[in-house]
């Protein structure tokens, strides 16, 4: 339950959260795609009383409607109650750089994992993420990251009997 309550003094300019139009547009596009996809579906089998496109039509149409409603609500000055938490300080603006760096680290992980294997990319992921979040203890982070990734590889292999693909280290681990 949030304690933020926005009250607008008369005469004060109406606050509009412009980014929320983006969310509304996303909903319209997503709903539109669901509808488009449903159009391409054929009639179901004779024993299928619910046509495969029936539910997608409803879901897609409602998503489009919700997108429009959110757009209207935004224009009328509806402000979102952003999520709060222990480590969240909403008094400052969004730190786009950190988020972009984290996303880049995650992309690097998924691009490299087939070639290098989790034991290496996991460590890179940890180190990269700590750097992005502002850690200054590089050596310690590398140590922890390697311990975590190699440790988790062995924990899955030995402890749980699940071999995680080793990638480039196949035969070494």
What whole-number distance in Å separates Cα of residue 55 and Cα of residue 130?
43
Q: Which of residues 47-76 bind another protein (CB under 8 A)?
A: 47-50, 52, 55-56, 59-60, 62-63, 66, 69-70, 73, 76
Q: Binding to another protein by residue 80, rule CB under 8 A?
A: yes
What whole-number distance in Å separates Cα of residue 157 and Cα of residue 136?
32
Residue from 25, 82, 138, 168 touching another protein (CB under 8 A): that is: 82
Q: Binding to another protein by residue 143, rule CB under 8 A?
A: no
DSSP letter (8 states) at residue 170: T
Residue from 25, 29, 75, 95 touching another protein (CB under 8 A): that is: 95
Residue from 28, 109, 116, 120 touching another protein (CB under 8 A): that is: 109
Residue from 16, 148, 150, 173 touching another protein (CB under 8 A): that is: 148
Give me the least distance between CB of 133 and another protein, in Å please.
Answer: 4
What whole-number distance in Å separates Cα of residue 87 and Cα of residue 109?
25
Question: 3-class DSSP state for residue 60?
Answer: helix
Q: Binding to another protein by residue 5, rule CB under 8 A?
A: yes
Q: Residue for token digits 């509304």?
A: 24
**Beta-carbon contacts of residue 23 (< 8 Å; ≥ 6 apart):** 70
């Amino acid at each position: 339950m949030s304690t933020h309550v926005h009250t607008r003094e008369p005469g004060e300019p109406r606050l509009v959260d412009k980014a929320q139009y983006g969310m509304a547009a996303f909903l319209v596009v997503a709903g539109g795609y669901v509808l488009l996809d449903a159009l391409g579906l054929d009639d179901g089998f004779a024993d299928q009383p619910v046509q495969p496109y029936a539910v997608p039509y409803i879901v897609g149409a409602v998503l489009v409607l919700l997108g429009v409603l959110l757009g209207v609500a935004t224009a009328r000055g509806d402000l979102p109650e952003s999520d709060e938490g222990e480590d969240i300080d909403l008094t400052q603006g969004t730190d786009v750089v950190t988020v972009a760096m984290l996303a880049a680290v995650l992309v690097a992980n998924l691009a490299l994992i087939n070639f290098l294997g989790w034991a290496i990319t996991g460590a890179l992921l940890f180190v990269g993420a700590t750097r992005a979040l502002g850690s200054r203890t590089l050596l310690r982070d590398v140590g922890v990251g390697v311990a975590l990734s190699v440790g988790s590889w062995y924990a899955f292999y030995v402890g749980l009997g699940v071999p995680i693909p080793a990638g480039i280290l196949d035969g070494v681990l």
